[in-house]
Amino acid sequence: MTNTPDGGYRPKRRDLLRPIEYVGGAAIASVFTSIIVFFGTHDWTLTLITFGGVFIVVLMVLALFTMAVKPNPGEHGDGTGGDPARKPPGDAGH
């Protein structure tokens, strides 16, 4: 997260690309599963249903895992409770 000179908010590049990572991971898992289903059944209909189902399930699981994890801001964990006035003098952090 960076601030622009005009005071606006601009997310980091990693934050912008994160949804693409989730969709890509779900697509890879669904293609892999669909290939296995196709070679086992030789049925295109079942293969396409498997692709769609696995894609949705994996995408939802990744989204739920993402919502379960909340990273702490940088000022947490330094023993001050988030109050910069409680930081000892000369302490540059960890």
Cα gap 85→22, rounded to integer Å: 40
Q: What is the pLDDT of residue 78?
A: 61
Cα-only R_g, the chain: 22
Report the DSSP beta bridge partners of residue 26.
Answer: none
30 falls within a domain: yes
How does residue 28 score in pLDDT terms, banded at 50, 70 and 90?
A: very high
Q: What is the pLDDT of residue 35?
A: 97
Q: What is the pLDDT of residue 74?
A: 58
Number of structural domains found in the chain = 1
Helix (H) or strand (E) holding 2, with range, is: strand 2-3
Chain CA centroid to CA 3, Å: 22
42 falls within a domain: yes
87 falls within a domain: no
28 falls within a domain: yes
Domain of residue 51, residue span: 20-64
